[in-house]
Amino acid sequence: MKIVVCIKQVPETNDVTIDPVTHNLDRRGLAGVMNPFDKNAIELALNLKDSRDDVQVALLTMGPDDYAESLREGLAMGADEGYLLSDRAFAGADTLATGYVLAQALKKIGDADLILFGRQAVDADTGQVGPIVAEFLQQPQITYAASLRLSGDNEVTAERLLEDTKQTLVAQLPAVISVRSELNTPRYPTPRNIQLSFAKPLTTWHHDDLDLDDTRLGQAGSPTIVTKVYAPEPVKRELTKLAGTPAEAASQLITALKGRQLI
Amino acid sequence: MPSPTSAAEKLLLQMVDDYTEREISPEDMPMDAAGDFPAGFIQKLTDTGFLGLMLPQEFGGAGFGPEVTAAALNHIARGNASTAVTLEGHFKTIDQILKFGTPALQQELLPSANDRIFAFSMTEASGGSNPMGIGSTATREGDHWVLNGDKIMITNGGLAQVYCVLVKTAPHELSVFVVDQDMPGFSFGKREDFIGLRGTPVGEIVMDHIIVDNDHLLGKVGDGGRIGDSAHDDARILMGAVLTGIMEHDLKIATDYAKERKAGDQPLTALQVTHRKVADIAMRKETTKLLFEKAAQLKANGQPYSEEAAMAKAYGSRVAVAAGDDTLQILAGYGYSREYPVEHLIRDARAMEIAEGTVEKMRSAIATAEFNK
Ligand SMILES: Cc1cc2nc3c(=O)[nH]c(=O)nc-3n(C[C@H](O)[C@H](O)[C@H](O)COP(=O)(O)OP(=O)(O)OC[C@H]3O[C@@H](n4cnc5c(N)ncnc54)[C@H](O)[C@@H]3O)c2cc1C
Ligand SMILES: Cc1cc2nc3c(=O)[nH]c(=O)nc-3n(C[C@H](O)[C@H](O)[C@H](O)COP(=O)(O)OP(=O)(O)OC[C@H]3O[C@@H](n4cnc5c(N)ncnc54)[C@H](O)[C@@H]3O)c2cc1C
C-alpha cells in the first residue's frame, strides 16, 4: 500500500504580515516549520505503516528549496521518501494552482492508495488544497477526519468531525483524506532517525519534470484576486469599575443595568 | 567559535526544543516539589531515543558529536536541569566505555545503552575528592574478579542499570569495572535527599561479592585514576552546558518579570539597579557558554580539553548560583517564594559546585595545568 502525504511549510510565528502591494502573505525572513496539521497526517500514515508490512510512505510538497527542511523532518519521523516541487514558475500560486501542480506530481508518482492532507495550513487557512487535488484526480475525498481505519481490502472508514456534527463515511481507495489534530499525537523524530533521514531519497522536480499546462501555473494560473486583507480594528468599549463591598457593587450594577433599561 | 551546525544538527536541536517545551518544562516545578521524575517520564525520553543521542550509529545510536550533544543538554536544561543531568551522567559513562572498553565489551554493553541508563561510581563515604580514600576492592580469583564495596551519591543510582565502578585492585592501585544491576551480589542502597536537581535520582549501590569476568575490566589494571579523570572531563563540559541552560532560564524569568513589574509608575526595566543585575546574568551566561563550547570543540577536534572543561564547570557553577541570586532579587518576595522556579534554579546550580569534582579540586587542576605550561 502506498500513501502520499502532502505537507506545507509555514512561517514559525503567528505574526505574519501582509505585503501592502501584492496583498500576499509576506513570508520573507521568517523561519519555516512544518504545518502542524500535516504532522497529524504523517502520523496517521506512519501508524498504518507500523501496523502492516506493506506500507510505503512518501511526502510531497510544493514550495521553495527550503521546504526540503520540512520534508527532512517528515523523513526523520519515519516516512520513506520525499518529493519537492520547486520552480519559479510555481511561485505565487493560489490554492487552485497549488492543487493542480500537486495533482500532476501525484499522477507521476503513481498508484497512491491514500493521499493525506492536513485539515488546513495555519498561514492561509483555506483548507482547499486537499479537496482541489481530489477533484483533479477524480477521487473520493473525506475532509476533517478525526479517526480513520482501513475497513476492507479496498476501503477506508473515517469519522468526520464538523462544528456541530459527526459523520462516519466510507470511501473506496484510492481516496483523498484531510485530517484533524484530534486524530493522533504526532511522534517526535528520534535523534537516530534524524541522522538516518539524510540517507533517504529526496527527489526535486522542476517545471520540466512534470506534464504541465503552463496557463494553470503560478500567479497567472491563480484566479484568486486578493483585493484587501486587513485585521479588523479592535472595538473599544467603555469600562466602569464597580467599587466597594460586594453588596455595594451589586446594587451599583443593578442601578446601571436598570439605567440602560436592560433589566 | 563552534563549528557551523549541519542540517541534521539543526533538526536535532529543533526537535530537542520542541520536546523540552512540551514534555520537559511543564514538569520542572512538579519534579522539584516531588523530588522525582514523574511516572513514565524516563520511559518517554528513552522511547524518543534520547539515550542514544551521542552513541555511535554502529551501536544503534544517533552518533551526534560532542558539540551538538552539549548543545542539546544546554537546550534541555533551559526547561529542566535534572533531566539534562540524568543524561549527562549517562553520556559521560558511555564515553568512558567508548574510550577504554575492548571491542568485545563495547559490543556486549553499548547496544543496550539506547534503552538502559548507565552511571559512573567513584564516591564513597570515605572518599569523594580523594579517590585513594575509597574502600571498594576487586580481588582476582582465577580468571574472575570479585568486587566488594559501597558507593554513594551516584547520579542515576537506582535508576541506571549499568555501573562503572572505581575499586582498588591493590592498596595503591585503582581500576574500573563495569557491573550490571542483574549480577548476583548487586543491590541498591539509600537515595540521597538532596536540596537541588531533585528530579535526578542520586543514590547508593552496594557490591557484595559480585563476580565479573576479566573482560568487564575497563582499560587495564591500574587505569582507574586516568579513567576517573576522563569521566570528570567529559561530564564537566556537559555540566557547563547545563549551567548555561539554568542561567538562560534565569535570564528569561528576570527579563519577563522586569518588563511587567512596576516600580512607582515605571517598569523595573527603567532602573539602573535592574540593568546591572540583568547585564551581569547575561555576561555570566555568555561566558559559560563560550567556555563549554570551546571545551566541546576541542574534544570534537581530538585536542586536549581537560583544563577548559574544568573552567566551564568551576566558573559556570559559581556564576550560575550568583545569577540565580540576582534573579531572585529582581523578583524580590516572589523570587523568594517556592511558587516561582528561581529558588530551585539556585539549588540546582549549587549541586555543580560539588558534583564531578568540587570547585576547589577543579581550581587545583586548572592551576596545575597553568604551572605545567
Ligand atoms: C489571503 C491569501 C494570501 C495569500 N498569500 C500568499 C503568499 O503571500 N504567498 C504564497 O505563496 N501564497 C499565498 N497564498 C496562497 C496560499 O498560501 C497557497 O495557495 C497555499 O499553497 C495553499 O493554500 P493554504 O495555505 O490555504 O492551504 P490549505 O488548503 O489550507 O492546506 C491544506 C493542506 O493542503 C496541503 N498543502 C497546502 N499547500 C501545500 C503545498 N504547497 N505543498 C504540498 N501540500 C500542500 C497540506 O497538507 C495542508 O495541510 C495566499 C492565499 C490567500 C487566500
Ligand atoms: C548532585 C551530585 C551528584 C553526584 N554524582 C556523583 C556520581 O555520579 N558519581 C560519583 O562518584 N560521585 C558523585 N557525587 C559525589 C561528588 O563527586 C562528591 O561529593 C565530591 O567529589 C566531593 O566529595 P565529598 O562530598 O566526599 O567531599 P570531600 O572530598 O570530603 O571534600 C570536603 C571539602 O574539602 C575540600 N577538599 C577535599 N580535598 C581537597 C583537595 N585535595 N584540595 C582542595 N580542596 C579539597 C572539598 O573541595 C570540599 O570543600 C555527586 C554529588 C552530588 C552533589
At A27, the pLDDT band (50, 70, 90 cuts) reads low
SS3 per-residue string spanning B99-129:
HHCCHHHHHHHHHHHHCCCEEEECCECCECC
pLDDT per residue as tens digits for the range A28-60: 667 789 999 999 999 999 999 999 999 999 999
Given a cut of 60, whether residue B53 has pLDDT beyond it is yes
Q: Are B48 and A193 within 8 A, CB to CB?
A: no
Considering only CB atoms, A191 lies closest to which of B10, B12, B18, namely B12
Per-residue pLDDT, B1? 46
The pLDDT mean for chain A works out to: 92
In a domain, B1, yes or no: no
Domain A2-216: give its CATH code: 3.40.50.620
Same domain, B123 and B239: no
Indicate the residue among B77, B98, B114 that finishes a domain: B114
Q: Are A191 and B57 within 8 A, CB to CB?
A: no
Neighbours of B334 (CB within 10 A): 14
Chain A stretch 176-195, residues whose beta carbon is closer than 8 A to a beta carbon of chain B: 188-195
In a domain, B251, yes or no: yes
Same domain, B216 and B234: no
Distances from the Cα of B370 to the Cα of A178, B292, B362, B364, angstroms:
65, 19, 12, 10
The pLDDT mean for chain B works out to: 96
Is the shortest distance between the CB of B306 and ligand 2 below 6 Å?
A: no
Q: Which residues of B touch A71 (CB under 8 A)?
A: none
pLDDT per residue as tens digits for the range B232-263: 999 999 999 999 999 999 999 999 999 999 98
Distances from the Cα of B99 to the Cα of B119, B228, B234, angstroms:
15, 12, 11
Q: Is the ipTM, as predicted for this complex, more than 0.85?
A: yes
At A13, the pLDDT band (50, 70, 90 cuts) reads low
Given a cut of 80, whether residue B163 has pLDDT beyond it is yes
In a domain, B360, yes or no: yes
At A139, the pLDDT band (50, 70, 90 cuts) reads very high
> Best of A72, A73, A190 to disrupt the B interface by mutation (most B CBs within 10 Å)?
A190
Is the shortest distance between the CB of B169 and ligand 2 below 6 Å?
A: no
At A16, the pLDDT band (50, 70, 90 cuts) reads low
Q: How many domains does chain B have?
A: 3
b/e map of B208-236 (b: 16 or more CB within 10 Å)?
A: eebebeeebbbbebebbeebbebbbbbbb
Could you tell me the three cell numbers for A250?
Answer: 451589586
* Domain range enclosing B29: 7-114
Q: Who wins on pLDDT, B270 or A124? A: B270
Q: Ligand 2 pocket check: which of B153, B167, B363 to mutate, most ligand atoms within 8 Å of Cβ?
A: B153
Same domain, B189 and B241: no
* Alpha-carbon gap, residue A157 to A140, rounded angstroms: 12
Q: How far is CA A190 from the centre of its chain?
A: 23
Indicate the residue among B65, B98, B114 that finishes a domain: B114
Q: How far is CA B161 from the centre of its chain?
A: 17
B284: exposed, middle or buried (Cβ count in 10 Å: 0-12, 13-18, 19+): buried
Q: Looking at ligand 2, which residue's alpha carbon is closest to its atom 29?
A: B129
Residue in B286, B307, B356, B370 annotated catalytic = B356
Question: What pTM was estimated for this model as a whole?
Answer: 0.89
Q: Inform me whether the C-beta atom of residue A31 falls under 8 Å from chain B C-beta atoms.
A: no
Work out the percent of chain A whose per-residue pLDDT is above 90.
73
Given a cut of 50, whether residue A83 has pLDDT beyond it is yes
**Contact present, B365 and B305 (Cβ < 8 Å):** no
Work out the percent of chain B whose per-residue pLDDT is above 70.
99
Per-residue pLDDT, B4? 57
pLDDT per residue as tens digits for the range A115-129: 999 998 888 778 999
Q: Are A193 and B49 within 8 A, CB to CB?
A: yes
* Alpha-carbon gap, residue A43 to B200, rounded angstroms: 32
Q: Is B356 a catalytic residue?
A: yes
Per-residue pLDDT, A3? 97
